[in-house]
Amino acid sequence: MKIFVEIKKLAGEFAENKDIAKEIRVNQIMPMLADDKVVVLDFSGVSGTTQSFIHALISEPIRQFRDVALEKIEYKNCSGIVREVVKTIYEYMQESFNFETYEE
Amino acid sequence: MKVTLSNSDYLRNFDRFISGLDFSNSEILYIHSHPKWINVHPTVLTLVVAMATRAGKHNVKFEKLTATSGSYLDRMGLFEFTDQPSPYKIHKKEETGRFIPITVIKNSTEQSKFITDMIPLLHLPADKTDAIKYTVGELLRNVLEHSGSSDGAIVAAQYYKKSNMIRIGICDGGIGIKKSLQQYWASNAKTDIEAIKWALVPGISGTTRKEGGTEDNAGAGLFFIKSIAQVARNYFMIYSGSGIFKLLLHDKRIEKPRLHPNPDDDRHSERNDAPYFQGTLVAIDLSLENKSEFTQLLAAIREVYGKAVRERKRKKYKEPKFI
C-alpha cells in the first residue's frame, strides 16, 4: 500500500521550513515505515528546497529503518533542485552507517 | 559603541569598515557617517541594527547625518530601530523595488513568510531566485537554531541592476559561532577564526559529533552557502567574535572554480583580531550573471561533500596488524 504525502500543500512552493519537515517525518513517514507501508513524497509544484529541509525530512527514517527506508520512500515529481538535494542526503547518510562518530 | 558608515562599505573593503567599529559601552550606539555620500552593503545595516538592539532604541544617536544619499538608510528601514526621526523625505514616486528592507525574523513561520514575500520585492525572473531563496532560507534557519538569540535574525538585501548582483546580509546578536561549537568541538574551535573555519567543513554540526548529523542537523548549511558563492565567483564573509573569514573572488579565467571541503584551501582572507562582536554576521554577494544552473551547482557541491565524508571515513579504517 502506498501513502502519498503532498509536500507543496504542507511546505509551500519552496520547501525550507524544517519544523514542517519534522512534522511530516514524525507524523507520517516514520509511522508509515513502521507499518511497512510505502511512502511517496510528492514534490509536485515544489520548485526548490534546502538541504536542511530534506535532511530533517528523511535522515532519521534512513538512520532508523536503513534499507527499509531506502526502498520504501519514493520521490515523485521532483524538480532538479529537489532531486540533487535528496541525492546528497542519500549519499552522506549511507556513508555514515558504519561510522557514526567522528574521531580525529 | 560606535559605527561609521562610509561611501564604500562593501565586502571588498570590509576591513576599512571594521576598523571604524567599537563595541565597548554597549549601552549607547553612535552612528557616524560620511558627510557627503553613504554607500553601504546591506550587511552593514543588519550589524547596525544588531548593535542598536543591544543598546536600546532610545540610545541610538546619529551624528551629523548630512549625506543626501543617507536617504537609503530610511528606505531600508534603519530609523525604525531608533527613536531618532529620519531627516529624509522619501518620494513615493521613486522606484521602491529591488531591495529588501531590514527585517527581523524570530521564528520559522516568519521565515517562510519572508522567503515567499521577498522575491516579488526584487523583481527578478523566477529561474534566478532559487539560489537566493536557498541561501536566505539556510542562513536564517542557522540563526534561529544555533545563535541562541532571543532577538532573532536580522536580514536585508539589495539588488544592483548594473552588476546584476544581489547583496545579502544576515546578522544576530547571539552567542557566536565559537560558543555554539564548544559542546562538541572545543578542541577544533579554540579561537573565533578556528571556529568559523570548522563550521564551514562539510558535516560539522554544533549539535553532534555523529557522522550524518542528528535528525535535525547535518552540519552542511554553511559549506553549501560558501560553495554557492565560490562557484559564482562571489564574495562570502563570516564575522563572529574576533574572527573574520572572507572568501575572495576567483580569477575569471578559471572556468570552474574548484570547491574545497577544507576552507583553508579556499582563496580567502582571515583574521582573528577584529573588534569583538558578540554574535554572527554573514554576508554574501550573489551574481545573477552566472550561467550555470543552480541544479548543476548543487550536483557539484554534492560531489565534493560526498568525497569529504568518504575521506573522513577512510581515515577511520583500521590498519591490518602485520607482525
Query: Which tens digit of pLDDT belongs to each residue from B8-29?
Result: 889 998 999 999 999 999 999 9
Please indicate if any CB of chain B lies within 8 Å of the CB of A50: yes
- Count of pairs with CB atoms under 8 A, one residue in A, one in B: 127
Can you tell me the distance from the alpha carbon of B3 to that of B25, in angstroms, rounded to the nearest whole number?
12
Do B65 and B10 lie in one domain? The reply is yes
Distance of CA A46 to the CA centre of its chain: 14
Q: Which of B60, B86, B112 is the last residue of a domain?
A: B86
In a domain? residue B39 = yes
SS3 content of chain B, % helix, strand, coil (to 5): 40, 20, 40
Can you tell me the distance from the alpha carbon of B128 to that of B124, in angstroms, rounded to the nearest whole number?
7
In a domain? residue B63 = yes
pLDDT of residue A104: 45
Name the minimum distance, in Å, from the CA of B57 to any CA of chain A.
31
User: C-alpha grid cell for residue B179?
Assistant: 560558543
Q: What is the mean pLDDT of chain B?
A: 90
- End-to-end, the C-alpha distance of chain A in Å comes to 45
In a domain? residue B320 = no
Angle at B262 between CA B267 and CA B178, to 5 degrees: 100
Do B115 and B159 lie in one domain? The reply is yes
Instruction: State which amino acid sits at residue B81.
Output: F
Per-residue pLDDT band at B291 (split at 50, 70, 90): low
What is the arithmetic mean of pLDDT over B120-132? 83
Cβ separation of B211 and A96 shorter than 8 Å? Answer: yes
Please indicate if any CB of chain A lies within 8 Å of the CB of B302: yes
Please indicate if any CB of chain B lies within 8 Å of the CB of A84: yes
Please indicate if any CB of chain A lies within 8 Å of the CB of B137: yes
Do B108 and B22 lie in one domain? The reply is no
Cβ separation of B111 and A83 shorter than 8 Å? Answer: no
Complex-level ipTM: 0.91
Please indicate if any CB of chain B lies within 8 Å of the CB of A87: yes
Can you tell me the distance from the alpha carbon of A36 to that of B250, in angstroms, rounded to the nearest whole number?
50
- The total number of residues written for chain A in this structure: 104
Q: Are A62 and A70 in contact (CB under 8 A)?
A: yes
Please indicate if any CB of chain B lies within 8 Å of the CB of A71: no
Cβ separation of B133 and A14 shorter than 8 Å? Answer: yes
pLDDT of residue B93: 46
Cβ separation of B212 and A60 shorter than 8 Å? Answer: no
Q: Are B92 and B85 in contact (CB under 8 A)?
A: no
Query: Which tens digit of pLDDT belongs to each residue from A42-97?
Result: 999 999 999 999 999 999 999 999 999 999 999 999 999 999 999 999 999 998 88
Nearest to B218 among A12, A51, A101 (CB): A51
Determine which of B216, B222, B312 to mutate to test the interface with A (most A C-beta atoms within 10 Å): B216
Q: Which of B86, B106, B125 is the last residue of a domain?
A: B86
CA distances (Å), origin A65, targets A38, A70, A72, A91, B294? 13, 8, 10, 16, 31
Do B143 and B21 lie in one domain? The reply is no
Query: Which tens digit of pLDDT belongs to each residue from B162-212?
Result: 888 899 999 999 999 999 999 899 999 999 999 999 999 998 888 888 888
Q: Are B58 and B83 in contact (CB under 8 A)?
A: yes
By CB atoms closer than 10 A (0-12, 13-18, 19+), residue B24 is exposed
Dihedral sign for Cα atoms in the order B28, B62, B19, B156: positive
Nearest to B309 among A18, A56, A92 (CB): A92
Do B114 and B251 lie in one domain? The reply is yes
In which domain, by residue range, is B255 found? 97-315
Can you tell me the distance from the alpha carbon of B30 to that of B61, in angstroms, rounded to the nearest whole number?
5
Cβ separation of A63 and B212 shorter than 8 Å? Answer: yes
Torsion angle defined by CA atoms of residues B266, B268, B270 and B275, in that order, rounded to the nearest 10 degrees: -130
Determine which of A17, A49, A52 to mutate to test the interface with B (most B C-beta atoms within 10 Å): A52
For B38-92, the DSSP string reads --B-HHHHHHHHHHHHHH-GGGEEE-----GGGHHHHHTTGGGGSSSPPS----T
Name the minimum distance, in Å, from the CA of B301 to any CA of chain A.
9
Do B68 and B116 lie in one domain? The reply is no
Please indicate if any CB of chain B lies within 8 Å of the CB of A76: no
In a domain? residue B147 = yes
Can you tell me the distance from the alpha carbon of B47 to that of B155, in angstroms, rounded to the nearest whole number?
9
Which secondary structure element, helix H or strand E, spans residue B211, and what is its range?
A: none
In a domain? residue B321 = no
Q: Which chain B residues are within 8 Å of A79, Cβ to Cβ?
A: 295
Distance of CA B317 to the CA centre of its chain: 37
Torsion angle defined by CA atoms of residues B289, B136, A62 and A22, in that order, rounded to the nearest 10 degrees: -150
Angle at B239 between CA B104 and CA B138, to 5 degrees: 50
Can you tell me the distance from the alpha carbon of B223 to that of B236, in angstroms, rounded to the nearest whole number?
11
- Say how many domains are in chain B: 2
Query: Which tens digit of pLDDT belongs to each residue from B231-274?
Result: 877 899 999 999 999 998 877 777 777 899 999 999 999 999 99
Range among B38-47, B92-101, B126-135, B303-312 rated most confident? B38-47
